[in-house]
Structures are given as structure tokens and as C-alpha cells.
Amino acid sequence: MNAIVIKSLTKIYGSNYALREFSLNIEAGRVYGLIGPNGAGKTTAMSILATLLAPDGGTATVGGYDVVKEPALVRRLIGYMPDFFGVYDGLKATEYLEFYAAAYWIPVGERPRLTRNLLELVNLSDKANTYVDLLSRGMKQRLALARCLVHDPAVLILDEPASGLDPRARAEMKEVIRQLRRMNKTILISSHILPELAEMCDNIAILEQGRLVANGTVEEVAAARQGARILKIDVAEKLTELIEFLCQQPGVAGADGDAGWARVSYTGNKAAQGQLLRDIMDRGWTVLEFAEVKGNLEDAFMAMTGEVE
Ligand SMILES: Nc1ncnc2c1ncn2[C@@H]1O[C@H](COP(=O)(O)OP(=O)(O)OP(=O)(O)O)[C@@H](O)[C@H]1O
């Protein structure tokens, strides 16, 4: 049974496609990683699933409920952790969770036990009486995760829950997510760092420039990406226009210009690659360099979907 069904989801800002015909099915009980570089559309997709943003095209359902037509029913089923969130000063960790429990109409008598259990789950029992603004970043992230569990949702949508954390805090966050998985939650979790997710996800979907470019088990996606290589295309001018052009060409799985040249994930054969170079020159670009980036494929893959800030 699918917990989340996304069909041809499209979101446009001005002339910029944040999501372009994005489709994905997520089976109940799975941990699904949504990976992509900054600006790929992860937050946009998650905000739509969380009923906070209306799509311009396509549909999405959670637990069979439409996110646009039945938002109240969807909200009961989901726990959403946004990429940026605030904590209220002057509240202790316990009070903070009790506040959210009240917002979800959890009966007063049940709140103390619930908050105790949640703090234990996210490994913050010893911080129950600490003011939330005094918690470390990693602790705040885990408290935010506990917050989205107060109504015991079946589906969790977690937007970069491990971002900005040091390795130890990341490991603690991962452990909590593993535990939620054992509790049979369906979890959609985003990151722009592949290794961060690979070891805790059953499946991975890769978004690039609003498009789904890979989807499957971690092993399937890794195998499929073996077919791609990275091209470095350096031009004298109009890099942004070149990237737009490249993204429309066959065999191009994704392209970015973060390095100051076009970094292209390319699956075409050698003949098609030669034709691509001719097409670029025919359109008037002065090509300074056109080369395959040598080295480990995993490194190349990471160059596309790894840390780009
Ligand atoms: N409110 C907005 N107005 C205009 N453009 C927007 C808005 N929100 C997002 N975008 C654009 O939509 C695209 C997708 O953004 P989104 O935040 O979904 O990406 P992301 O994959 O979550 O990135 P990050 O890893 O940086 O959080 C980007 O090009 C972004 O600039």
C-alpha cells in the first residue's frame, strides 16, 4: 500500500520551475530519501505534501487524502519538520512539547506521560527541565522531531533534519530516525548529502532542478548512476543560458554551474557527446574546455549531489 502518491507535481515561480512533473510513490512503512542539490525542489515538494503550499499542476495524496482538497485529513496523518523552525524562548523542553500536545487536543491527563515518552525517544530525558533556547542545535532538532510526533502520525516529512549538525549530533539524529522506522512510520527525509541518507533509507529519489532523475533502492540508484559520467564544459560567456540549454538535451541528467563552469551529469554515448559539443558551438558559445571529469565515479556523483555550498 502506498502512503504517499505524487503525480506530475509542478510548481512554478515566475518562469522558474521549482518542480517539473515530479511523480513518486512511497510505500507505507518505508524510509524514503529525497536527495538533491540546493534549489532542486525538495522543500517545495515537502511543503506541498505538508499542505502548506499549493501546486500549479499535478496531484499528491497522503494516506489516500488529497493534499489540496482534504488538507485537514492529511494534517492529522503527518508530522512535518520544516528546514527552518523557531523554538519559543522561556519554555522548558517539557513545556514546549506540552504546548504542542495541547494544540493537538491531547487530553491534559495524558500529556505528562506523552512528553516523557517523546523526550526519551529523542534522547532528551535529561533536558526535560532545560529552557529550549539553551539547547544545542542538535538537541533543538531532536526536540523539533519530537514535536512533530505528539499526535502519533503515521507519516513523517522531515526537511533536512540533520543539516548544520556536527558528526556526533548527526549520528544521534540518525539513531532516532532508525527507531521511528522500527515503529513502522513512513518517513520521507531530505538531504543534499547522499551518504547522510544512504545508510538509513530503503529507497532514494534524486531531484535535480525540479525533475526526478533517479528513483529506486539505494543499490538500484547507485547502479543506474554508474552509467552517468560528469562532463566539464567551460564557456567564455552565458553560462546560465548554457545550463538551461543543456538541461533540455537528451542524455543530460542534470547540470549546474556552481563551480564556475557547467558540470553536467551525462548518460549519452561518445557519438552523442560529440554531437552535443557541436550543438553548443553551433549556437554561438565559445567553448574553452569540454572534458570528462576524471576520477572515481562516486566522487563525480558526489560533485553533482554532494555538498555544494
Ligand atoms: N517563495 C519562492 N519564490 C520564488 N522562488 C522560490 C520560492 N521558493 C523556492 N523558490 C525556488 O524554487 C526552487 C526550488 O527551491 P527549494 O527550496 O524547493 O529547493 P531545495 O531543494 O529545498 O533547496 P535547499 O537544499 O537549498 O533547501 C529554487 O530555484 C528556489 O529558488
Kindly report the CATH number assigned to the domain that includes residue 282.
Answer: 3.30.70.100
For atom 24 of ligand 1, the residue with the nearest CA is: 38
Task: Give distance in angstroms: CA of 262 to centre of ligand 1.
Answer: 20
* 257 and 125 housed in the same domain: no
- Say if ligand 1 is within 6 A of residue 192 CB: yes
For atom 2 of ligand 1, the residue with the nearest CA is: 13
* 166 and 288 housed in the same domain: no
* 147 and 262 housed in the same domain: no
- Say if ligand 1 is within 6 A of residue 41 CB: yes
What's residue 94's pLDDT?
A: 95
For atom 8 of ligand 1, the residue with the nearest CA is: 44
For atom 1 of ligand 1, the residue with the nearest CA is: 13
What's residue 303's pLDDT?
A: 47
Give the total number of structural domains in the chain: 2
- Say if ligand 1 is within 6 A of residue 42 CB: yes
Please list the pLDDT of the chain residue by residue as tens digits (309 residues). Answer: 899 999 999 999 998 999 999 999 999 999 999 988 888 999 999 999 999 999 999 999 999 999 999 999 999 999 999 987 777 778 999 999 999 999 999 999 999 999 999 999 999 999 999 999 999 888 999 999 999 999 999 999 999 988 877 878 888 888 899 999 999 999 999 987 766 677 788 898 989 889 998 888 877 776 666 667 778 999 999 999 999 899 888 888 778 887 788 988 888 888 999 999 999 999 999 999 999 876 443 454 554 454 333
What's residue 300's pLDDT?
A: 40
What's residue 70's pLDDT?
A: 97
What range defines the domain where residue 47 resides?
Answer: 2-222
Indicate which CATH number applies to the domain containing 176. Answer: 3.40.50.300
- Say if ligand 1 is within 6 A of residue 39 CB: yes
Task: Give distance in angstroms: CA of 39 to centre of ligand 1.
Answer: 5
- Say if ligand 1 is within 6 A of residue 13 CB: yes
- Say if ligand 1 is within 6 A of residue 43 CB: yes
Q: Which of these three, 191, 222, 253, is where a domain ends?
A: 222
- Say if ligand 1 is within 6 A of residue 83 CB: yes
**Secondary structure (DSSP) of the chain:** -EEEEEEEEEEEETTEEEEEEEEEEEETT-EEEEE--TTSSHHHHHHHHTTSS--SEEEEEETTEETTT-HHHHHHHEEEE-SS----TT-BHHHHHHHHHHHTT--GGGHHHHHHHHHHHTT-GGGTTSBGGGS-HHHHHHHHHHHTTTT--SEEEESSTTTT--HHHHHHHHHHHHHHHHTT-EEEEEES-HHHHHTT-SEEEEEETTEEEEEEEHHHHHHHHHT-EEEEEEESS-HHHHHHHHHTSTTEEEEE-TTSSEEEEE---HHHHHHHHHHHHHTT--EEEEEEPPS-HHHHHHHHHS---
Complex-level ipTM? 0.95
* 168 and 74 housed in the same domain: yes
For atom 16 of ligand 1, the residue with the nearest CA is: 41
* 91 and 183 housed in the same domain: yes
Task: Give distance in angstroms: CA of 17 to centre of ligand 1.
Answer: 9
What's residue 227's pLDDT?
A: 67
* 232 and 217 housed in the same domain: no
For atom 31 of ligand 1, the residue with the nearest CA is: 39
Q: Which of these three, 164, 187, 222, is where a domain ends?
A: 222
* 68 and 180 housed in the same domain: yes
Q: Which atom of ligand 1 is closest in space to residue 45's alpha carbon?
A: 18
Task: Give distance in angstroms: CA of 52 to centre of ligand 1.
Answer: 14
pTM of the entire predicted model: 0.76
For atom 26 of ligand 1, the residue with the nearest CA is: 38
What's residue 263's pLDDT?
A: 84
Q: Which of these three, 222, 253, 278, is where a domain ends?
A: 222
* 69 and 133 housed in the same domain: yes
For the chain, the maximum distance between any two Cα atoms, rounded to a whole number of angstroms, is 73
What's residue 226's pLDDT?
A: 64
Q: Which atom of ligand 1 is closest in space to residue 40's alpha carbon?
A: 21
